[in-house]
């Protein structure tokens, strides 16, 4: 501040203007950051909800197909047909099975064909798809599968131009005899992609998010993009299905990609959102705000320069007038200055003229001068007396708080009584005594502070104290725990409506260091915020370098205060999990214990 005082008024005004512009820019950028975070979180919730619904529908539809295939594979007529050797009898069963299979097909929309293929060459299908599944049957030879997704295949013009999904189930003979529990054939279901998941499950394109259902071969089953069923999904390395979201470049654009496993069909759900699409409107708003700010600054520049000149021009005339008087020219004492301008400079000119008039009067009459000096001295004494009377004795404040407590007791206002008594204790503790106190006294002050906050938050949180006698006797800096407890209350419990708990634990370790842990089960911190606070605490002797909230300022101040008093081995350590809570560990080395 001493540097600023040495600058000219013009320079200080320009610095003020620059600071104002900087604050406005910071507010705009901070608003943009908050809004972008809200939009990103909203999009993530939308994607998670959509993917969850798709996954549930796939599982549900797969279960329906599986049950129908089980009913068919254990149907007595189907099994008898596959083991029947008499062609006439088999033909009679064929007509009956054809009707039965048509009825099963109608149980689930999207089933295009049902094919029963026996190991002895016997087969039956509804629409002629048997010749296309012969290679699949050879691949599954010797395997026992139930509701197995065998892949996608083109069936010519039987079911349309798109590739269809094929599910397979082994048919095991269930009747007593030589063939009991032996594989006698395979049931194939040819289904459309709509039988697995419908377009309504992911039809919304409000965010431009593309959702793909891929099979184990990374072929597209279905999607909300203009991609043909059966197309190869290339260009992106998916990695593990539980790897979370990540940024990838695809087709010249940057996408936020998330993957989710589909165990029912051994596939994967892939969601892709254009990174710049989510914040496109917000970027336009930021450009407009910056443009408006630039225009506003240009418009304000004219009155700003006018005001600067209006301030400085009278000041320059005043400085020139005073300089001429200081030269000792007696004729200048007879002159007076007239300044037209703002109120303050007019008052200064009037007072200066009055001072010159006073000097003239003092030179004319010594008696009058002595009388005036006496009056000035008397006024000075009156001012000092008024100042002394206006001082407030801290005991007066204590007594006033106690009086309020007494009135609250009489009026039955228990909460006012509790709060005023706790506030009185905190005030007395903060202004009296030395800079270091036993931890027990600090805890008593914290108890008073917590009582006030519990009344304010309507007992939305409870506090547990677990401190050893050795720790309570340890001497600590006064008011060192209050900022940390305040952070837990305002940043941990206030943003949530659930019941909270705060633990304050303390002990002295084997090396003689005091360790205090303040833990809450509040909302916790996002990983980015946690990393930022850890970097601030790791910077030796440095406070926040950018505009920060009160949480970071309070923690850094406490951390630096402890390190300055007790050395680099002391300070704060921070742990937090978003949605679960935050723990702050304070370590004080080289302190002392107070013994009775």
Q: For residues 258 and 211, is the Cβ–Cβ distance under 8 A?
A: no
CA gap 166, 175 in Å, rounded: 28
Looking at residue 385, its pLDDT comes to 41
| Residue whose entry in the numeric block shows the structure tokens 């002797």 | 541
Thinking of the domain 435-588, which architecture would CATH place it in? Answer: 2-Layer Sandwich (3.30)
| Residue whose entry in the numeric block shows the structure tokens 């260091």 | 513
What CATH number labels 10-278? Answer: 3.30.450.220
Looking at residue 544, its pLDDT comes to 44
Looking at residue 531, its pLDDT comes to 92
Pairing of strands 461-467, 500-508: parallel
Q: For residues 476 and 442, is the Cβ–Cβ distance under 8 A?
A: yes
Token pair recorded at residue 200? 């309504």
**3-state DSSP assignment of residue 281:** helix
Token pair recorded at residue 77? 């007529």
CA gap 248, 238 in Å, rounded: 10
Q: For residue range 6-58, list pLDDT tens digits in order.
A: 667 777 777 888 888 888 888 878 787 777 777 777 777 777 788 888 888 88
Looking at the DSSP assignment, which residues form a beta bridge with residue 220?
A: 214
Low-confidence ranges of the chain (pLDDT < 50): 379-380, 383-396, 542-548, 595-596
**3-state DSSP assignment of residue 535:** helix
Q: How far is CA 422 from CA 400, 409, 415, 445, 451, in A?
A: 14, 14, 10, 8, 7
Beta-strand ranges (E) seen in 413-551 are 436-438, 461-467, 475-477, 500-508, 514-520
| Residue whose entry in the numeric block shows the structure tokens 């620059």 | 18
**3-state DSSP assignment of residue 431:** helix
| Residue whose entry in the numeric block shows the structure tokens 């009489």 | 410
* Residues ≥6 apart with Cβ < 8 Å to 311: 9, 13, 341, 342, 345
Beta-strand ranges (E) seen in 365-446 are 436-438
Looking at residue 183, its pLDDT comes to 85
Q: For residue range 88-146, list pLDDT tens digits in order.
A: 888 888 888 888 888 888 888 889 899 998 888 888 888 888 888 888 877 777 678 88
Q: For residue range 352-408, list pLDDT tens digits in order.
A: 777 777 777 887 776 576 776 665 566 445 534 433 333 334 444 555 666 676 676
CA gap 308, 285 in Å, rounded: 33
Looking at residue 200, its pLDDT comes to 63
CA gap 401, 410 in Å, rounded: 14
**φ, ψ of residue 405 in degrees (nearest 5):** -60, -45
Token pair recorded at residue 447? 């108890």
Q: For residues 335 and 341, is the Cβ–Cβ distance under 8 A?
A: no
Q: Which residues of 408-422 are buried (b: 16+ CB within 10 A; e: fewer)?
A: beeeeeeebbbbbbb
Residue 519 CB neighbour total at 10 angstroms: 19
Instruction: Tell me the CB-side half-sphere exposure of residue 531, using CA atoms within 13 A.
Output: 3
Looking at residue 388, its pLDDT comes to 35
**Helix locations, 106-217, DSSP H:** 130-139
Task: For residue 555, give the nearest of 509, 511, 492 by alpha carbon.
Answer: 492
CA gap 238, 470 in Å, rounded: 56
Q: For residues 323 and 58, is the Cβ–Cβ distance under 8 A?
A: no
The domain limits of the chain are: 10-278, 281-390, 435-588
């Amino acid at each position: 501040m001493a540097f600023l005082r040495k600058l000219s008024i013009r320079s200080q005004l320009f610095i003020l203007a620059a600071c104002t512009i900087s604050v406005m820019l910071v507010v705009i950028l901070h608003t943009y950051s908050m809004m972008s975070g809200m939009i990103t979180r909203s999009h993530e919730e939308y994607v998670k909800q959509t993917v969850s619904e798709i996954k549930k529908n796939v599982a549900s539809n797969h279960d329906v197909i599986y049950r129908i295939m089980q009913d068919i594979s254990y149907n007595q007529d189907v099994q008898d047909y596959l083991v029947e050797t008499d062609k006439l009898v088999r033909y009679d069963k064929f007509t009956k099975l054809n009707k039965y299979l048509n009825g099963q097909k109608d149980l689930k929309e999207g089933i295009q064909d049902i094919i029963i293929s026996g190991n002895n060459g016997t087969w039956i299908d509804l629409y002629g798809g048997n010749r296309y599944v012969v290679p699949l049957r050879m691949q599954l030879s010797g395997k026992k599968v139930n509701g197995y997704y065998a892949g996608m295949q083109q069936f010519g013009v039987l079911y349309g131009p798109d590739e269809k999904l094929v599910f397979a189930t082994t048919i095991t003979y269930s009747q007593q005899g030589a063939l009991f529990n032996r594989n006698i054939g395979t049931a194939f279901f040819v289904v459309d992609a709509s039988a697995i998941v419908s377009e309504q499950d992911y039809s919304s394109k409000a965010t431009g998010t593309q959702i793909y259902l891929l099979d184990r071969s990374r072929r597209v089953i279905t999607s909300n993009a203009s991609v043909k069923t059966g197309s190869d999904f290339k260009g992106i390395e998916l990695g593990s299905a539980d790897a979370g979201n990540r940024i990838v470049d695809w087709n010249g654009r940057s996408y936020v990609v998330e993957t989710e496993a589909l165990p029912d069909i051994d596939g994967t759900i892939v969601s892709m959102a254009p990174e710049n699409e989510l914040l496109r409107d917000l970027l336009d708003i930021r450009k407009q705000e910056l443009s408006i700010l630039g225009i506003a600054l240009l418009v304000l520049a004219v009155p700003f320069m006018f005001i600067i000149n209006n301030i400085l021009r009278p000041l320059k005339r005043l400085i020139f007038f005073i300089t001429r008087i200081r030269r000792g020219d007696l004729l200048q004492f007879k002159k007076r200055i007239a300044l037209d301008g703002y109120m303050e400079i007019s008052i200064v000119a009037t007072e200066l003229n009055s001072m010159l008039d006073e000097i003239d009067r003092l030179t004319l009459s010594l008696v009058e001068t002595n009388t005036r000096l006496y009056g000035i001295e008397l006024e000075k004494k009156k001012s000092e007396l008024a100042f002394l009377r206006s001082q407030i004795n801290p005991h007066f404040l204590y007594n006033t708080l106690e009086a309020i407590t007494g009135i609250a007791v009489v009026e039955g206002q228990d909460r006012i009584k509790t709060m005023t008594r706790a506030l009185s204790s905190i005030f007395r503790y903060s202004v009296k005594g030395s800079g270091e106190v036993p931890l027990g006294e600090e805890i008593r002050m914290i108890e008073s502070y917590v009582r006030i906050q519990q009344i304010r938050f309507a007992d939305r949180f409870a506090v547990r104290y677990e401190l050893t006698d050795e720790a309570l006797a340890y001497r600590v800096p006064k008011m060192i725990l209050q900022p940390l407890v305040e952070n837990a209350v305002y940043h941990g419990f206030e943003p949530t409506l659930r019941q909270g708990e705060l633990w304050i634990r303390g002990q002295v370790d084997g090396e003689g260091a005091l360790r205090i842990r303040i833990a809450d089960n509040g909302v916790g911190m996002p990983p980015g915020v946690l990393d930022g606070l850890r970097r601030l605490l790791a910077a030796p002797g440095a406070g926040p370098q950018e505009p920060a909230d009160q949480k970071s300022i309070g923690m850094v101040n406490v951390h630096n205060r402890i390190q300055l008093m007790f050395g680099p081995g002391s300070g704060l350590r921070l742990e937090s999990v978003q949605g679960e809570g935050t723990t702050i560990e304070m370590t004080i080395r080289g302190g002392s214990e107070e013994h009775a």
